[in-house]
Amino acid sequence: MLVKWQPFGSLLNHHDIFGDFLDTTFPVRAREFAPEIEVRETENTFVIEAELPGLAKEDFKLTAENNTLTLEGEKKLAKDEKEEGYYRSERKYGSFRRSFRLTDEVDSKKIKADFKNGVLSIEIPKVAKAKPKQIEVKVN
């Protein structure tokens, strides 16, 4: 059996051999931060929880306008010039914006928000639906 000699063939496959080594040694590209969201519904409210690790209350804002609830802010890169360089950083930084459409089912004037341990909890109360009025029918 004859095999064609390729003098540079082994160089072309260097990623297969050293791929993991190269990927973990050099810095990872900057990644955009986007808070992870969880939405749930109870009988009387909708609840949105957003994970905002490393952020302070001043780093984001929450607004309700034109039937839209918007969470926006920025997670900034904390730099200390005295520290040594990093070999690898997997933290995500950057501006973010998440919007949620509010339906007629909710009372946007009574939205409450609480920020504790890096988690923003937003409670959106539902509008009390008018109960159907039963009409008595008389038989002649």
The percent of residues in the chain predicted with pLDDT above 70, rounded, is: 68
The chain-wide mean pLDDT, for the chain, equals 78
Tens-digit pLDDT profile for residues 109-128: 999 999 999 999 999 999 88
Q: What is the pLDDT of residue 22?
A: 45
In a domain, 100, yes or no: yes
- Full-prediction pTM beyond 0.85? no
Extract the tokens encoding 116. 């504790």
Residue 17 lies in a domain: no
Residue 115, domain extent:
30-77+89-130
pLDDT (0 to 100) of residue 31? 58
Query: Counting beta carbons within 10 angstroms of the beta carbon of residue 42, is it exposed (0 to 12), middle (13 to 18) or buried (19 or more)?
Result: exposed
- Nearest Cα neighbor of 111 from 46, 39, 66 is 46
Dist. CA 67–CA 107, nearest whole Å: 10
State the amino acid at position 100 in one-letter form. Answer: F
**Residue 138 counted as domain residue:** no
**pLDDT tens-digit map of 39-83:** 999 989 999 999 999 899 999 999 999 999 999 999 887 665 556
Distances 21 to 14, 30, 80, 90, 129 between C-alpha atoms, Å:
11, 19, 28, 16, 61
Whether residue 101 is contained in a domain is answered as: yes
Residue 44: inside a domain: yes
Helix (H, G, I), strand (E, B) or coil at 124: strand
CATH, residue 42? 2.60.40.790
What integer pLDDT is reported at residue 120 of this predicted model?
97
Q: In this predicted structure, what is the pLDDT of residue 87?
A: 67
> Number of folded domains in the chain?
1
Q: Evaluate whether residue 140 is within a structural domain.
A: no
